[in-house]
Structure 1
């Protein structure tokens, strides 16, 4: 299957993408991984992306599109793929359609993870990260540490990242509404969008998505 996964920040896209790709036996292709791979390998696109990022500027669409197209040329995508974080705007969606059409293939579905905005803010603004090990993540409501402000695993100090502050989260949501939400209507016109309620446990959301794709138990 060839799938695009969309949803607001805090919807759990990365987690669901990994589970769904595993269940469907297709590669999970995330924008973050594309950037890291191209930059670490020093590809021409990676060099261009790094130059923009080092200057504090957004990476142009054509660079991101080029990275995605290069990745989709790899042999492991022949049986399908799951795109996470790409496309993020109409220009990228149109470029993806053009690329796939040139290959004689098309998307099978666009999964839209639906989460109420207040829940998104609660999920992200409530996160607390360990200063000693950023892999240790807690939440003031959903995963409380035994001692407030102290990591259960290593005893490090827990803190709130600037990106997780409520005002920043709401700004990120504004960007999502402006830039990314329009691609949902774009794909609805192609009858590709499947809306998945993303509240509940991770495995419950995965089961909903798999059932919607006709791959449920």
Structure 2
């Protein structure tokens, strides 16, 4: 293994284990068994090292996307791509934060490659007449939404404790961009929608309509329906 590869592997390991998401070049040198001048000779500076490391980590994800076989339905591939993006982000939070939540690794090429692969799927949808906006606009919207929800889950887990927020965001975004992406609600889903609507309007109803106890019970029951799975 070359000195460059050894250093990148060491940096990736330190980055994955760092509670703060920050690492020092001194720690990298100790882990890789090299002197600091070697890092600056190979990578220019710390940002160059981090950019190379982020590209290395994300190349695993991008490699899976490149190798993935296309299904008969590009919308299925688009949904799967969103989910794999979020899953990889949660599995590699520090590298993800550096790539999409920091300007410190502007040299990294991973974001451009991810956008290129996304465009390939969106171009297929456009060719089928199913895309409601231009592919380049759709790509920016999907990437912004996917990275935004992933960063929210990573940076603010107490505020966003449920990882299923990503799939909820996915369905909302794709439903606005792709014709037919939002299925007609079934009976169970219609019941959830009705419960959400009624629960939201409860505070606006006349106060004398229900006692406090009745209003509390109704809110609890509607909350259970709202939180249920459509197949429950």
Q: Same fold (TM over 0.5)?
A: no
TM bin (shorter chain): under 0.3
Alignment TM-score, normalising by the size of structure 1: 0.24
Alignment TM-score, normalising by the size of structure 2: 0.23
Q: Which has the larger radius of gyration?
A: 2
Bigger relative contact order (CA 8 A; separation at least 6): 1
Greater share of strand: 1
